[in-house]
Structure 1
Amino acid sequence: MSRILVIGGGVAGLTTAIALRHAGLHASVYEAHPDTADGRGAFLTIMANGRDALRAVDAEHVVLEQSFASRQVRMRNNRDHGLGVLTIPTPDPDRGPRTMRRADLYRALADEALRRGVEIEHGKRLAGVRHHGGVTAFFTDDSRVGGDLLIGADGVRSTTRSLIDPNAPQPTYTGWNIVMGGVRDEQPAEDRDSYFMYFGRRATCGHITTPDGETWWFANVPCGERDLAGATPAQLRQRLGELFAGDRIDTVRAIRATADDRITATACYQLPTVPTWSRAGMTLVGDALHVASPSTTQGASMAIEDGVTLAMCLRDIPDTTAALHAYERLRRERVERVVRTGFRRLGPRLPGPLRRLLRDRAVTRRVHHPEADWLHLHHIDWGTDVSA
């Protein structure tokens, strides 16, 4: 396979290109935005399974160099009483979740891709595809490029998904927007490896403090899909102040102190299943294929797993159609199960199993869900021949 076209230069696209190069395949990335470091101010967590997948292609360092450990979630109610400490399953203490700025991850992945010989072009928004044994991608700037396979890593509103199947389902709105921001020196220095998650009377929010003293916070705002579109930072702060009025929540102090240029709001979506994954020399990875609620904290990690698994299939199975069938066989059940777990975690209340376990408790207790091991302890063995 002489050339693979990757549409999208986010986590999914860049990781896929890195994995393809690790498999000895040629990859080029075409990103619609002019700058890879998109999403300034937001942050994300790479879970143990995401780190494992990066380790399989010798790329875990892109996370380790600019992130910090986030080992547990300290859950508290609207009166600032401890509900429990949720421990996140890890293979060992040094391989647990890591939190970092989204923009830093984009830059690090792009640098690693370039170092490995991946070509990255910006300002290339996909408009159409023609299949002729190989594929030709047409972009909105009237340019075109040919290759043997096109991989759609173009996100929630994927053009590639619609080109593969014009009747493909579209992501559905979850019922809430997530507002995020960051501010320095607004929280105590202790427990900097922990997320604090607050279940207020009207909404949920939380924060984590970086080793150098920045507090990164988020708030889940129940609202209409477009209610916060175009809202100014001052309006967002006011909305959050109303949501958490009367609650005793430490995160609110950080929200009030955050500068305007550090506040962002994003509508949250879910896409539980895509019937057709591949067609005519095209396939999908990441949010173009499955969109999980942010409450799963698995969006980036699932995208990384997708890219590594797809690269293994293309490495081991010479026939492209057969390789894409193997990719779907290896990934469909897992990614759809992840999205389903997000359906049970929407809204300001605790998830049902945790609510029953911690009901009426005002003291901290440590909680571990063995059923979550399938998610966080997933291992990808690069040495496995997936054609066997």
Structure 2
Amino acid sequence: MDTTTGKVRSAPVIGGGIAGPVTAMALQRAGIEATIYEAYDGPAENVGGGMGLAPNGFQAFDAIGVGDAVRAVSTATSGLVLHSWNGKKLAEFGTLPGIDPTRFVMRAELFGALRQAAEERGVPTVYGKRIVRATEDADGVTAHFEDGTTATADVLIGADGVRSTVRRLIDPNAPEPQFAGTAGFGAMVTVADVSPTKGWMHMTFGKRCFFAWQVFDDGTGIWFVNLPVPQALSVGEQRERGAAYWIEHLRQLCSEDDTPAEQMLAATDPKTMLFAGSTENMSPDVTWSRGRMVLTGDAAHAPSSSSGQGASLAAESAVELARCLRDLPLPQALARYEELRRPRVEKIIKETARTNARKAAGPVARVIRDALLPIMFKLAKPESRLWQFRYPIDFDAPVA
């Protein structure tokens, strides 16, 4: 640490998923030496399904110069179309005026692009480093790893996801992620008998599950399902049943809905089935920092996948944390970071909870939902959603 200013000069970033590389690159740009420590023995290739990257996420990516790399592996979408189980259109959300389109990306492709960008910038990643504890003194913080090695720096950053170990090191009584009522499944497919959707993602509130799909002009497509389940379902539990079981089970559940689920599920190769586990929200009661340790990304604030904002919010927070650490002494930097970020992410998480409730609606609630949603969306002004998608970051501007 710079003893004259009290500002941070080095930071280990715990977690090599999405938030980790973005945080490390943002720190590097801020003049802070950063190393990524990943618990697994190698990169998590071909893990996870598809996701939306909102315009505000790209504003964060652009702030550290990786926006074009992410655009290269993602596809612009025209908007979303919501349907009821019988095919009735409930609402349509196109790209808002003055806002870039949301883009679709497979998690593996996004991870690969960010990992490559970090490598090209000389940001080191050390694999097989599972943090077990941390110790602090007046001069710094030391991460202790399961293999007996350590890493000492000015501040330790937990970017280790929704089941963060660093979160428990900051607060041993930290809340666990909250089950949001559904489990996720998906796959990339090639379908000859389903028309291209011209850039639109279609989503159906089905009788027994939520089904979404998009078909590209080359005949490839993506589908995903949010299946209401009575209790949390892990990825391991999904895989234990087997992809063939779930494909047939989901076909039966979607059989009464007016969607191309039958064709797209039939075209799914079980080997390519993607399991997402349960949808989860992070409680707003999380303690974001203590002493020389701080959280970012899903470790601090994890909206469920229904938000379409998980990766984008993580990128925003990573960039803002780096700016605060660059410009302010450590205690003030962490306090200012939380002031900048907590109100925004908690508002989005609250909005997402409403969406999750709609997906898991029972028979009576489904009828009420399908009757009220068209009215609600018709009355809502498009500009009322701009706050989510417009979050410009001037990286070079000083943090007050």
Indicate how the Cα distance of structure 1 residues 274 and 56 shifts in structure 2: closer, same or farther if over 3 A, else same.
same
- What are the Cα deviations for residues 280-321 of structure 1, in whole angstroms up to 9, with x where unaligned? 21100111001112111000000000100001101111x111
Partner of 1:119: 124
Separation (CA, whole Å) in 1 of partners of 2:198 and 2:305: 21
Q: How does 1:23-42 map to 2 (within 5 A)?
A: 23-40=30-47, 42=49
Which among 140, 144, 148 is matched to residue 138 of structure 1? 144
Among 223, 248, 251, which residue is 1:241 paired with?
251
Q: 1:276 maps to what in 2?
A: 287
Whether contact under 8 Å (2:181, 2:279) holds in the other structure is yes
Aligned pairs for 1:1-388 (under 5 A) are 1-40=8-47, 42-89=49-96, 91-92=98-99, 95-132=100-137, 133-186=139-192, 188-223=194-229, 224-226=231-233, 228-229=237-238, 230-265=240-275, 266-317=277-328, 319-346=329-356, 347-348=358-359, 356-358=372-374, 369-387=382-400
1:352–1:5 Cα change, 3 Å: farther
Q: Distance in 2 between matches of 1:39 and 1:386?
A: 38
The change in CA–CA distance for 1:129 and 1:186 in structure 2 (over 3 A counts) is farther
Gap change, CA 1:150 and 1:161, over 3 Å in 2: same
Give the gaps of 5 or more residues in structure 1.
none
Q: Is the Cα–Cα contact under 8 Å of residues 14 and 36 in structure 2 kept in the other structure?
A: yes
* Alpha-carbon distance in structure 2 between the residues aligned to 1:260 and 1:102: 19
Q: Distance in 2 between matches of 1:264 and 1:170?
A: 24
* Conservation of the 8 A alpha-carbon contact between 1:71 and 1:193: yes
Describe the shift of the 1:41–1:290 C-alpha distance in structure 2 as closer, same or farther (beyond 3 A): closer
Deviates more, 1:269-278 or 1:145-154: 269-278
Structure 1 residue 239: deviation in Å? 2.1
Shifted more, 204-213 versus 327-336: the winner is 204-213
Question: 8 Å contact 2:191–2:267 — kept in the other structure?
Answer: no
| Residue identity matched to 2:224 | F
Checking the alignment, whether the CA contact within 8 Å between 1:197 and 1:204 is kept in structure 2 is yes
Unaligned 5+ segments in structure 2 are 1-7
Return the offset for 1:238: 2.2
SS in structure 2 opposite 1:303?
helix
Q: Closer, same or farther in 2 for the Cα pair 1:295/1:328, shift >3 Å?
A: same
Post-superposition offset of 1:89: 3.1
Q: Once the 2 structures are TM-superposed, how far is the Cα of residue 357 of structure 1 from its aligned partner?
A: 4.8
Give yes or no for contact 2:176–2:283 (8 Å, CA) kept in 1: no
Shift of 1:74: 1.5
Deviations 1:188-214 (A, max 9, x none): 453331101011112111012245432
Structure 1 residues 28 and 360, CA gap change in structure 2 (3 angstroms): closer
Q: How many corresponding residue pairs? A: 381
CA RMSD of the aligned region, Å?
2.4
Deviation at 1:272, TM superposition (A): 3.1
Percent identity between the two aligned chains = 33
Superimposed CA distance per residue, residues 72-103 of structure 1 (whole angstroms, 9 cap, x where no aligned partner): 011222222333312243634xx221111111
How far apart in 2 are the matches of 1:352 and 1:53? 38
- Residues 135-175 of structure 1: CA distance to partner in whole angstroms, max 9, x if unpaired? 11111122211111110001111000000011111111111
Distance 1:354 1:97 in 2: 25
Asked if the contact 1:72–1:88 (Cα under 8 Å) also holds between the matched residues in 2, the reply is yes
With normalisation by structure 1, the TM-score equals 0.92
* Contact 1:272/1:340 (8 A) holds in 2: no
Per-residue deviation, residues 261-294 of structure 1 (Å, max 9, x unmatched): 1112211111131342111211001110011121
